[in-house]
Amino acid sequence: MSAQSLIKVPQAGQKIVPGQTIPDQPIIPFIEGDGIGVDITPVMKDVIDAAVEKAYGGQKKIHWMEIYAGEKATRLYGSDMWLPEETLAALKEYVVSIKGPMTTPVGGGIRSLNVALRQDLDLYVCLRPVRYFDGVPSPLKHPELTNMVIFRENTEDIYAGIEWMSGTESAQKVIDFLQNEMGVKKIRFPASSSIGIKPVSKEGTERLVRKAIQYAIDNNRKSVTIVHKGNIMKFTEGGFRDWAYALAKDEFGAELIDNGPWSKIKNPKTGEDIIIKDAIADAFLQQILLRPAEYDVIATLNLNGDYISDALAAQVGGIGIAPGANLSDSIAMFEATHGTAPKYAGQDKVNPGSLILSAEMMLRHMGWVDAADLVIKGMEAAINDKQVTYDFARLMDGATEVSCSAFGKAMIERM
Ligand SMILES: NC(=O)C1=CN([C@@H]2O[C@H](COP(=O)(O)OP(=O)(O)OC[C@H]3O[C@@H](n4cnc5c(N)ncnc54)[C@H](OP(=O)(O)O)[C@@H]3O)[C@@H](O)[C@H]2O)C=CC1
Ligand SMILES: O=C(O)CCC(=O)C(=O)O
Ligand SMILES: [Mg+2]
């Protein structure tokens, strides 16, 4: 890694320090992102600056600090510098940050930088709330019934990227080990198989499920559903389910309903029951379409969570307004659910809503609730006035299609 420093720390502004009051003038690092990052990131900053200015009349202000990863980093630091050391250091030091999407090639090439960031910073919760905004076009008759919050495990599973390419010495070694030492007889076509490993741990499951249940308690939600494929992958996905139920019992006092496995917790803050239940992933994917009102907080593994995120986003209008956060116990890095949408890059066309709503989550995380509320108000009003980007305009009657930047302006005018 290069020792050169390209990050310009803003002259004014202060670091956010975990456990201390958020300063009025925090420095927030941002990664622009590849592809449509160049379109959506500046719009997100403008909208957030306007909301903060309007909410606090200049008393509070974000000092944005650009840090680099992905293709932009390779242009600035050198051709193999996808994730410079100083970027990682800044994300750790400044604690709260936001990023645009980054490209991961299919098949060969670099491994996901997004996954690398989550693993290096141990951002074990991927938090993705899915809610409906009035007026947004949706394929469902009652999209407003979809109101779920996904807690996706963010550091383990097949997503950890432990795999070996077919035909390599390494793949052969693993196959030999499995066949000769572990008695595995079921690898079909062993001479040409690539092999991947799926680690799922008790600790990793427990810390994720603990956060999901605590969220349900703090936000007065009705249920937590553990989504897994534990009938087939018994010790990984099945382990996730069993450890999750056990944690609900041991740490939150969950009691079995009838003979189980469903259980319930009395919310200590409201006295209401929170149902702890589970669903097998394939059945869950059809039920969220047919009976979405029955699901609330979702706790799931990494790959399931990836699929479920985009599927649920589609139910409420698509990944143009699907926000998210990656969280550890001390660091929060916000990012949209969608990727770099390369065919639209640089066209000022796509919906900046996902990244703006990710920043809205960031404002709430900082306790800047008035500014966050203004962001929601601006978005609701722009959609209500049918001033929307192409993704909504193509499905709405009487809409005016506006550009990415014009949607940001439409939001600001309506705060
Ligand atoms: N966290 C991250 O950084 C992520 C990165 N990626 C990476 O992004 C790259 C591209 O992935 P891909 O599979 O094409 O998925 P994308 O999410 O980038 O795009 C898929 C489709 O979703 C729609 N879409 C995405 N973003 C928006 C937006 N802001 N506004 C409106 N519509 C949007 C577009 O649909 P339509 O064509 O219908 O207009 C687009 O073609 C890959 O390299 C992938 O690895 C993927 C996901 C997350
Ligand atoms: O890292 C990537 O390229 C894809 C990640 C992704 O799809 C997600 O986290 O939702
Ligand atoms: Mg995804």
Q: Is there an atom of ligand 2 within 6 Å of 25 CB? A: no
Among the listed residues 288, 293, 274, 299, the one whose alpha carbon sits nearest the alpha carbon of residue 219: 274
Give me the mean pLDDT over the 316-340 stretch.
97
Confidence of residue 108 (pLDDT cuts 50, 70, 90): confident
- pLDDT score of 205 more than 80: yes
Which ligand is closest to the CA of 340, given by its number?
A: 1
Which ligand is closest to the CA of 127, given by its number?
A: 2
Mutational test site, ligand 1, from 113, 303, 340, max ligand atoms within 8 Å of CB:
340
Is 229 catalytic? The answer is yes
Among the listed residues 402, 404, 403, the one whose alpha carbon sits nearest the alpha carbon of residue 385: 402
Q: Is there an atom of ligand 2 within 6 Å of 335 CB? A: no
- pLDDT score of 2 more than 80: no
> pLDDT per residue over 8-63, tens digit each?
999 999 999 999 999 999 999 999 999 999 999 999 999 999 999 999 999 999 99
Is residue 312 left, alpha or beta, with left meaning phi > 0 and alpha meaning psi from -120 to 50?
alpha
Q: What percent of the chain has pLDDT over 70?
A: 99
In ligand 1, the atom with minimum distance to the C-alpha of 40 is 29
Is 282 catalytic? The answer is yes
Q: What percent of the chain has pLDDT over 90?
A: 98
Structural contact between residues 146 and 287, judged by C-beta atoms closer than 8 angstroms: no
> pLDDT per residue over 149-189, tens digit each?
999 999 999 999 999 999 999 999 999 999 999 999 999 99
Which one is catalytic: 68, 132, 159, 390? 159
Ligand 2 geometric centre to CA of 114 (Å): 7
Largest CA distance in the chain: 70
Confidence of residue 3 (pLDDT cuts 50, 70, 90): low
Ligand 3 geometric centre to CA of 318 (Å): 12
- pLDDT score of 143 more than 60: yes
Ligand 1 geometric centre to CA of 125 (Å): 21
Ligand 3 geometric centre to CA of 11 (Å): 36
Ligand 2 geometric centre to CA of 101 (Å): 8
Q: Give pLDDT, residue 52.
A: 98
Mutational test site, ligand 1, from 319, 351, 354, 405, max ligand atoms within 8 Å of CB:
319
DSSP secondary structure of 356-390: HHHHHHHHHHTT-HHHHHHHHHHHHHHHHTTEE-H
Which ligand is closest to the CA of 388, given by its number?
A: 1
Beta-carbon count within 10 A of 25 CB: 14
Q: Is there an atom of ligand 2 within 6 Å of 306 CB? A: yes
Q: Give pLDDT, residue 4.
A: 78
Ligand 1 geometric centre to CA of 280 (Å): 27
Is 310 catalytic? The answer is no
> What are the CA-CA distances from residue 122 to residues 125, 208, 270, 291, 331 (Å)?
9, 12, 32, 34, 9
Is 24 catalytic? The answer is no
Q: Is the pTM of this model over 0.90?
A: yes
> pLDDT per residue over 372-388, tens digit each?
999 999 999 999 999 99
Confidence of residue 1 (pLDDT cuts 50, 70, 90): very low
Among the listed residues 279, 189, 196, 206, the one whose alpha carbon sits nearest the alpha carbon of residue 240: 206
Give me the mean pLDDT over the 335-346 stretch.
98
- pLDDT score of 224 more than 70: yes
Residues whose beta carbons lie less than 5 angstroms from ion ligand 3: 306
Which one is catalytic: 60, 72, 211, 229? 229
- pLDDT score of 144 more than 90: yes
Which residue, judged by its Cα, is nearest atom 9 of ligand 2? 306
Among the listed residues 91, 66, 70, 64, the one whose alpha carbon sits nearest the alpha carbon of residue 6: 66
DSSP label of 190:
G
- pLDDT score of 96 more than 70: yes
- pLDDT score of 395 more than 80: yes
Tell me the CB-side half-sphere exposure of residue 183, using CA atoms within 13 A.
0
